[in-house]
Structure 1
Amino acid sequence: MADAWVHAVPLWAAAVVWLVLSGLPIASAMGLRGCAAWAAAPALAVATLSMAAVVAGAASVRWSPIVALAAVVLATLLAIAVNSLVGGRPARDRGTVRACAAGGVLVGALLGVAALVLALRTPAALSQSFDAVFHYSALAAIRDSGDASSLTLGALDVPGAPARFYPAAWHDVTALVLATVGGAIPAGANAVAGVIAVLVWPLACVFLARQVFGPRPGTLAVTGLYSVGFTAFPWGLLKWGVLWPNLLGMSLVPVALGLVLAVTGRAVDDAVGRPRALVLLAVTLVGMALAHPNTVVCLVVLASVLILVTTAQRAREHVADGRVGRAGWTVAAAVVVPLALLAALRTTSLMREVAAVWWAPTTTAAGAVGEVLLHATHGRRAEWLLAAVVLVGVVRSLRDPALRWLAAAHAVSAALFVMAASIQSPWTMVLTGFWYSDSWRIAAMLPITGVPLAVLGTVAIAEWLRARIDLRVAVPVGATTLLIALILAGATKGLHLGRTALAVHSSFAAEDAPATNMVSPDEAEFFARIRDRIEPDAVVANNPWDGSALLWPLQGRRVLFGQLDGRKQTAEQDYLAQNLVFAATDPRACRLAAKMGVRYLLVGEVHFWPTDPRVDDYPGVRDPGALHGFRLVERQGELALFALSSCSETPNLDSSAPTPDRRRGTR
């Protein structure tokens, strides 16, 4: 196993290069230094690469590392020009501040890497989940077609399917990583997701803390440590879904929120500057939208709370000065503008489709509140010590007018989670619908404010101890804060990352949960064996629910159905799903098979959600048995590969010939 991880180092290094290092020249050209530059680098990289992929797709240019590198160079030159226009130099942090921030990120990254190794077991671990099928197949489509545009990825390279938007930033980066150093698609996906979780996210949290608390060395060091200690994010999205695009977008929200602090003048010893922050915020929003649009909504919600609390405080001053009308207009604007923006977003076709999804409640309202307070969402074990320091942070923030927005924003995120996890009424879904009304996605918002609140709580405890314990040697608050955080981490065995790793592992464990596996080890071995029996340009008909959809990303052989969502199939695909097995006597099925290049039929094992009714939506791609028109190529138990021979044997392929009336059978 150790050798496998050593061999995976180039993949992880390439992920660091494209996710972080490729954005550093752009950040530097914008005048950023220190933790601000390192935190902004992923946001700038994601925005640059995802926009470049859209342009390349429109120009019919194949997505490749050369194209991406050209985009980075162009963006850097543009940043130099923009920086000369905005003028001024942002604050520069001292060496001690930079060292402590880097040390905190490093410690958090090491803990996170340890958790990932325990969770994945092997760097090429296959995610056994519904969403992973689409993401793996999307990477295969990019590899084969060269088109990585967010404007077309939703069609998944299906012949005849209309272009369909799907946020492709995560796929753009992962495709670049694979194209740079090679490797299996699952290994590339794990590398990119892992770097987001253990590096991009801690960097973003440190930047937000830098904007909220100022350049305080101990505070920034503790932030990097705490950033990997919350189960809801990033670990929750590595288990649920898996939601890799959401993972990328959410990891950028703290950066965007830190920029909002700069724009509104609420940052402490601002490391960016208002004009520069406006430009960076606009670019970051583009990257977030192309990673996953609902992360933009997360920012709108959190930023609205910040602005509303700030406005309310200023309105109180206006009232005290006798300017009641101005106070009323100010508060009204702070309420109406974000609501109007959210309403406008809700009217888009994309958000209407998202909002139509309904998830059953998972707990009671009281239970959901308890999960928030104890940081134990979705049945996780309570994190008592972390919950305690967050609670202290909430109390401390409420006593400081400059920090009250933190507690308020955390409360709003908690309220949204409670609605999604326990109520799910038409009224609550007006608000939670931006996230598919999915409590897992909404729970991922909690650590955005939870991390700085935990840091604030630790600082408050350190200040309380220093005020009450007579020490012969003066110990700085920052050192005391760091010591308390290290004690907490030790007492919780590395912030409970061991049991977090076990939870994440459940989504990758083919051996532990056969009833929820997409591809078993035997099935993966069968796919590898039949690869050379299938011509590279041939298409294999399949029921995606039996795991055969992953033949495409795993072995590079194209399948007819590369995703589980049958609503996105074309009418011609649907016809073959019902009738291909009758190709010897059905001229239309034979004609469509020839049109789509279908030459094989693959039959797999249904282990994944076997009771889901959608499993039976493909009666035409079952084992043909005694039916004519198919030749057995390879069999292993229930697994079988057949060659389609009926098209050459059927004399009449005229599309006007009568089509047999076949009703949907069962698998």
Structure 2
Amino acid sequence: MLSVCVAIVVIAVPGLLTGLAAGLRGWALAGLAPLLSYAIGGLTGPWTAAVGWSFTPVTYAVSTVVFAAIAYGVRKLTVRRWAPEPEPGLWARRGHIAVGACLLFGAAVGFYATLRGLGHIGALPQGFDAVYHGNAVRYIADTGDGSLFGTGHVNWYGNAAPVFYPNAYHLLAATTYRLSGASIPATLDANTLLLPGLLALSLVTLVREFRGRAVLAGAVALTAVAPVVGVYESMDRGPLLPFALGVALTPLAAVALRRYLERVAPDTGFVLLLAAVGLLCIHSSTLFGGILFAGPMLVQRWLSGWRRIGRDLLALLPIAVASLLVAWLQLFGALGLATGDVPYYGWPSEWRASTALGALLGFQHYEAHPQVWLSVALFLGIVFFARAGALRWIGLTAGVTGLAYMAVASSNAPIVMALSRPWWDDPYRFFSMAAIPLCVLAAHGLASTQAWLRDHLPARVPAVAVAVVVLLGFVALSNGLYFRSNGARVYTGYQAADPSKLRVTPGEQAAMEELGKLAAPGEWAMNDRFDGTAWTYALSGVRTVAGHFDETLLPRDALLLADRFRDYRTDPEVRAAVQRLNIHWVILGKPSTEPGKPYQPGLVGLAGEPFLKETWRNSDAVIYRLLP
């Protein structure tokens, strides 16, 4: 649990200090703090790398002081020249307490569901993407390289083209890793466990900002952690950790945007700037997701007063310019990736559009059963939609993101693939984005049901009692917010009934950790790309020839050794590549069971070769020392 506590501090404290200095208070401060922290870290890493400095916990702390000082100065300037009026009250004290209780309960349920899936803190994620994130966190922690191309060096080194990847997630995770002393898997898991709670906090902040009732805020804290397609699927598949983080924080785009447009001033503009840049620093697609989510808010705003259009666009212009200047490293890196040599194939369509619509309404992707009580709450939200008030725009957001999912899930048309490129044309990601506004509508259904019952029951029945019955009833009917089925979904990404069937087996993990004890600093190991040993660097600090399962645009030396390493004694090119990479070890795990991906040709039949000495073995892996 230490890693979880440290992760909370790393994610919360810098944003809290900066937000407080910028004039944020209450729920807005609590909700926006994580996004501000990721903006601070996500900007600090690349810019310190650009000037030749290392990113460390000290660097992160110093940058927090700098950002907080800037925020304080901007706030002072604002108060002096454009004194803001106090924000009107909304909830009574007991309303705040009740919402806080719902938030803590929802976050605890999401935490527990995730932990059930993980099995324990420190479980190794088994998916294709996880190894990149694990190695990236270790790379930043070991080297201090916070650049946007640095994390890719673990797999794309030498003559390989550098690979861009937004790294705010990895920068803060590396800080957690160094401060906590936990393993890389435990560091990743600590951040993963917080995702449901972060989403619930973001949506509570959204409801508060748009002046929704406390009952609605409490309801959304519960519905946020219930759908399997919200963040749990992203934990299982990939896991898509930066994307899932971005989804959890996306609603804050609307919060920061509304605060700025309601009071155009330097302090609110500074917060909007950091919010937009923070989304971009987490993942390039997250900024686009924030635009999809918050754009409908502008539609509702402009329909209520068309004269606002010009004023709002003019007010947003300096924010756009400042964002371009501050985050040009991220923007140009993303453009370079989109126009570079990395191939874009997209994902195949899943099913017909009508089936995709049914999946949306049932909160059911590939799960065996729909989440019926969420669907009932969503139905009630649609019935009572006219009561949504300042949040009516969320219906348009649900429509836009839902139609986007239906298009991606049912079509591979060129226009669909082009528009969905920031998300790699991935139906899973679009379903996750569509689930967020649907959660708000479901919460609106619960809150409106409470209001209807309050108005039709005898006056002697307290409104608070009605709210408690409705919300507890939803928790009970949904079997504890579906924590069992959600945990079961996470389980398949981390565990198996037979651990020997995992992509990275416990035996392979033990071998990689053992290699860390055997190898001297700077020594590399030859390994297979498709067994589990691509995790070696994250687990032991020993660099390997294959640092990812990905086969795209690999270095020349990696291709050569994968094909001809077994000819080490007789092939001068192989010996030269071994010398260039300082390879002293060979580690082999269980061959991949995927069709067409056994050991690579250069690693077949190494047992008994005179240039290798076996130094360690278990049932799943073997380590050889390379002899001169």
1:221 aligns with 2:207: no
Partner of 1:292: 283
Q: SS in structure 2 opposite 1:602?
A: strand
Partner of 1:632: 614
Counterpart AA for 2:252: V
Provide structure 2 residue ranges, at least 5 long, that are not aligned to the other structure.
Answer: 315-322, 324-330
| Larger-Rg structure | 1
Q: SS in structure 2 opposite 1:249?
A: helix
Equivalent in 197, 209, 214 of residue 207 of structure 2 = 209
State the 1:237 CA deviation: 1.3
1:98-132 Cα shifts (integer Å, max 9, x gaps): 32332222111111122122111111111111111
Partner of 2:374: 386
Identity %: 23
1:360-409 Cα shifts (integer Å, max 9, x gaps): 22222221110101111233521112112122213333566744321111
Change (3 A) 1:614 1:420: farther
CA contact (8 A) 1:232 1:444 kept: yes
In structure 2, how many angstroms separate the alpha carbons of the residues matched to 1:206 and 1:400? 15
Partner of 1:59: 51
1:440 aligns with 2:425: no
In structure 1, how many angstroms separate the alpha carbons of the residues matched to 2:423 and 2:360? 18
Q: Which moved more, 1:75-84 or 1:276-285?
A: 276-285
State the 1:501 CA deviation: 0.3
Change (3 A) 1:350 1:308: farther
Equivalent in 154, 157, 163 of residue 156 of structure 1 = 154
Change (3 A) 1:262 1:330: closer
1:98 aligns with 2:96: yes
TM-score scaled by structure 2? Answer: 0.89
1:245 aligns with 2:236: no
Partner of 2:573: 588
Q: SS in structure 2 opposite 1:495?
A: helix
Partner of 2:601: 619
Change (3 A) 1:640 1:403: closer
Counterpart AA for 2:365: T
Change (3 A) 1:348 1:537: closer
State the 1:221 CA deviation: 2.2
Change (3 A) 1:369 1:121: same
State the 1:330 CA deviation: 11
State the 1:238 CA deviation: 1.1
Partner of 2:554: 569
CA contact (8 A) 1:582 1:627 kept: no
State the 1:179 CA deviation: 0.5
1:231 aligns with 2:197: no
Change (3 A) 1:382 1:213: farther
CA contact (8 A) 1:311 1:330 kept: no
Q: Which moved more, 1:108-117 or 1:634-643?
A: 634-643
CA contact (8 A) 1:104 1:224 kept: yes
Partner of 1:134: 132
Query: 4+ residue stretches of structure 1 with deviation over 6 A?
Result: 329-333, 344-347
TM-score scaled by structure 1? Answer: 0.84
Q: 1 or 2 for the larger relative contact order (CA 8 Å, sep ≥6)?
A: 2
State the 1:54 CA deviation: 1.5
Q: SS in structure 1 opposite 2:481?
A: coil
Equivalent in 638, 641, 657 of residue 623 of structure 2 = 641
Partner of 1:19: 11
1:304-327 Cα shifts (integer Å, max 9, x gaps): 223234434545xx9xxxxxxx99
CA contact (8 A) 2:408 2:426 kept: yes
Counterpart AA for 1:385: W
State the 1:416 CA deviation: 1.0
Change (3 A) 1:479 1:35: farther
Equivalent in 251, 254, 263 of residue 251 of structure 2 = 254
In structure 2, how many angstroms separate the alpha carbons of the residues matched to 1:390 and 1:643? 60
In structure 2, how many angstroms separate the alpha carbons of the residues matched to 1:151 and 1:190? 24
State the 1:219 CA deviation: 2.5
State the 1:598 CA deviation: 0.7
Counterpart AA for 2:2: P
CA contact (8 A) 2:251 2:293 kept: no
Q: SS in structure 2 opposite 1:559?
A: coil
CA contact (8 A) 1:153 1:163 kept: no
Q: SS in structure 1 opposite 2:530?
A: helix
In structure 1, how many angstroms separate the alpha carbons of the residues matched to 2:511 and 2:402? 46
Partner of 1:421: 409
Counterpart AA for 2:221: G
In structure 2, how many angstroms separate the alpha carbons of the residues matched to 1:484 and 1:242? 34
In structure 1, how many angstroms separate the alpha carbons of the residues matched to 2:85 and 2:23? 7
Change (3 A) 1:347 1:151: closer
CA contact (8 A) 2:446 2:470 kept: yes
Change (3 A) 1:77 1:346: closer
Counterpart AA for 1:53: G
Aligned residues: 605
Provide structure 1 residue ranges, at least 5 long, that are not aligned to the other structure.
Answer: 1-8, 266-271, 319-325, 334-340, 649-667
State the 1:291 CA deviation: 0.6
1:554-589 Cα shifts (integer Å, max 9, x gaps): 222221211111224211222122222111101111
Partner of 1:178: 177
In structure 1, how many angstroms separate the alpha carbons of the residues matched to 2:504 and 2:333? 37
